[in-house]
Amino acid sequence: SQELEQSPQSLIVQEGKNLTINCTSSKTLYGLYWYKQKYGEGLIFLMMLQKGGEEKSHEKITAKLDEKKQQSSLHITASQPSHAGIYLCGADIIQGAQKLVFGQGTRLTINP
Amino acid sequence: DAGITQSPRHKVTETGTPVTLRCHQTENHRYMYWYRQDPGHGLRLIHYSYGVKDTDKGEVSDGYSVSRSKTEDFLLTLESATSSQTSVYFCAITGTGRLGRELFFGEGSRLTVL
């Protein structure tokens, strides 16, 4: 099993709807990254969170790291076709080691 | 843009042959990583390096070895490729240099083992 669990693994939403993707670990997360990947392409950096309770937004995407630093959520407001792709969370699970592991990804489809 | 390149970008080989993938960076970053990406598994860490000649195993290191003799190069070797190693391989770098702690990825190397 992977150190980071993402849910759901697959998500289909109607264009314009809001959605949330979760990333959970049984261990403390030191440095939490969110990436997006278009099918068959490279990875696009979205955001990095480090402090418990931290929240960052970019355009219609908001990411938050909970106070215990064991769960992060990625929220997309008013989804658009351009949001479609695979979303990956990654984190350093050993403080200071920079051993960065990733979840299994969430495949997002936006229906018009 | 981060200066990170992977080579080759595509390779087809036969079972039992050795394969080496190269990751080259121009950012002088300390940390370098090799991941493989397979459907349903996201990115899985194979090996990573925290300095010249300093490497450690990741989640799926069996069948792979790495070397880092210079800061800028991190090599991933499959001593005897198997069909289960057919995958897309990504190199990544991070550190505290010009680009900060953001994790930057290469474009990926698609390996097919027949």
User: Residues of A near B (CB-CB distance < 8 A)?
Assistant: 2-3, 6, 9, 31, 33, 35, 42-43, 45, 48, 88, 90, 97-105
pLDDT, tens only, A83-103: 999 999 999 887 777 788 899
Residue B66: predicted pLDDT: 98
* Residue appearing with tokens 């080989």: B13
Task: Report whether pLDDT(A1) > 60.
Answer: no
Residues 66-85 of chain B with CB under 8 A from chain A are none
Residues of A in contact with B33 (CB under 8 A): 100
How, if at all, do strands A55-58 and A61-65 pair? antiparallel
Nearest to B19 by CA among B57, B56, B63: B63
Residues 22-51 of chain B with CB under 8 A from chain A are 31, 33, 35, 40-45, 48, 50
pLDDT class for A72, splitting at 50, 70, 90?
Answer: very high
Distance CA B101, CA B84 (A): 32
Chain A nearest C-alpha distance from B105 (Å): 7
Distance CA B50, CA B31 (A): 5
Type and span of the H or E element at B39: none
Distance CA B24, CA B17 (A): 23
pLDDT, tens only, A14-58: 999 999 999 999 888 888 999 999 877 888 889 999 889 999 998
Omega before A112 within 30 of 0, i.e. cis: no
Q: Three-state SS for A83?
A: helix
Q: Are B105 and B6 in contact (CB under 8 A)?
A: no
**DSSP letters along A9-43, please?**
SEEEEETT--EEEEEE-SS--EEEEEEEE-TTS-E
pLDDT, tens only, B33-63: 999 999 888 899 999 999 999 999 998 999 9
